[in-house]
Amino acid sequence: MKLTTLLAGAMALGLSTPVLADAHDPVKVGFIYVGPIGDGGWTYQHDQGRLAVEAEYGDKVETVFQESVPEGADAERAITQMALGGADIIFTTSFGYGEATNAVAAKFPDVKFEHATGFMREYPNVSTYDARFYEGRAVTGTLAGYLTETNKIGYIGSFPIPEVIQGINASYLHAKKINPDVEMVVTWAYTWFDPAKEADAARAMIDQGVDVILQHTDSTAPQAAAQEANENGGRVFTFGQASDMAQFKPSPRVASIIDDWAPYYIERVGAVIDGTWEQQASWGGMPEGEVVIGEITDAVPAEAKAAAEEMIAAITAGEYHPFTGPINKQDGTPWLADGEVADDGTLAGMDFYVEGISGDIPN
């Protein structure tokens, strides 16, 4: 009933005209952001992708965006509003928009929807996309294995969700390959965004002898905490997250995992312009240019840098998968046999640590 009235309304206003029919008008591209563009991390990188779309297509596209849209009821309204406003394709850039994206997609069958990091595609006009950040974690994990002297590396997690657990496992597995004595310390911040808490979490790690910090939260606070420790005689290394965090080069930040959404956004908007858009579930990584390792600085030993670059090349060429057996689960039960590669289904729902990581995933 709600659906039909809305449909009738949309029809009456001529909004469901197929995109191809008005090919002379610019294609309107909408973005729904979960944080402010000024977060310097997740949303900032998505907005960089939006700007890349504008740069690529010029007059052929018009982009609109809305920042800081809370997940839930407000998201549905914001997406509907964009669809009513004539958007041809809408990117909803946070996991929590899944239900809302599909609900709006049902009402606007001619608008394309792209939902980031989710799994729900209930209508033919909804695609999902995500990036294989764990590929980047394999590289930073390798570097961490070379860099640590205390044999303690730390991981600041946001919430215990599959993406973060993939990251913890990938980092640990590759650090351990280099340094069999390495120990992984995990701290859950239980927030996506609280710079003060992230700073305190990093300090707690440093105080307890962690000398390489990997973060899955977006602020530069842990970098600054490491820098402060180094200024006072410490030896702590960090990696940029989401964005390059280049201001902390060459140390403590020795490399970074950058989310580059530009290739994907350009490709998908291009598909709408050509009229070739089709539903898909995209999970790109280094080969697609969606996960990029920022400059590895000279603070890293040459040997480590070479190993990291070799791994980047192997992953990019599709020759190496970071989750290649033999790998056991935390309790010692076999997960992957020798040479076996993890399937995407298990990865996407990963809810266990691999063997060697102590502690429990909160639940």
Q: Which residues pair with 188 in a beta bridge?
A: 157
Contact in structure between 201 and 222 (CB atoms under 8 Å): yes
Of the candidates 123, 120, 109, 32, the residue with the CA atom closest to the CA atom of residue 69: 32
Figure out which of the listed residues 106, 204, 281, 292 binds another protein, where binding follows CB under 8 A: 204
Q: Is 331 in the site for another protein (CB under 8 A)?
A: no
Smallest separation, CB 343 to another protein (Å): 12
Figure out which of the listed residues 125, 187, 215, 217 binds another protein, where binding follows CB under 8 A: 187
Q: Give the distance, in angstroms, between the CA of residue 220 and the centroid of all CA atoms in the same chain.
A: 16
Residue whose CB is less far from another protein, 1 or 21: 1
Figure out which of the listed residues 80, 101, 217, 238 binds another protein, where binding follows CB under 8 A: 80
Total residues contacting another protein by CB under 8 A comes to 88
Smallest separation, CB 107 to another protein (Å): 10
Which residues contact residue 268 at a Cβ distance below 8 angstroms, ignoring those fewer than 6 apart? 89, 112, 114, 127, 129, 277
Contacts (CB under 8 A) with another protein, residues 332-361: 345, 348-351, 358-360
Smallest separation, CB 281 to another protein (Å): 13
Q: Is 161 in the site for another protein (CB under 8 A)?
A: yes
Of the candidates 88, 113, 87, 109, the residue with the CA atom closest to the CA atom of residue 100: 113
Contacts (CB under 8 A) with another protein, residues 264-303: none
Q: Which residues pair with 237 in a beta bridge?
A: 212
Figure out which of the listed residues 18, 85, 124, 180 binds another protein, where binding follows CB under 8 A: 85
Q: Is 29 in the site for another protein (CB under 8 A)?
A: no
**Measured between alpha carbons, how far is 140 from 168 in angstroms, rounded to an integer?**
11
Figure out which of the listed residues 129, 146, 248, 264 binds another protein, where binding follows CB under 8 A: 248
How many angstroms separate the Cα of 39 from the Cα of each of 61, 194, 218? 25, 11, 8
Name the CA dihedral angle for 44, 47, 96, 120, rounded to a multiple of 10 degrees: -140
**Region from 30-38, 51-59, 167-175, 254-262 binding another protein, contact rule CB under 8 A:** 30-38
Smallest separation, CB 190 to another protein (Å): 5
**Region from 17-25, 53-61, 133-141, 179-187 binding another protein, contact rule CB under 8 A:** 179-187
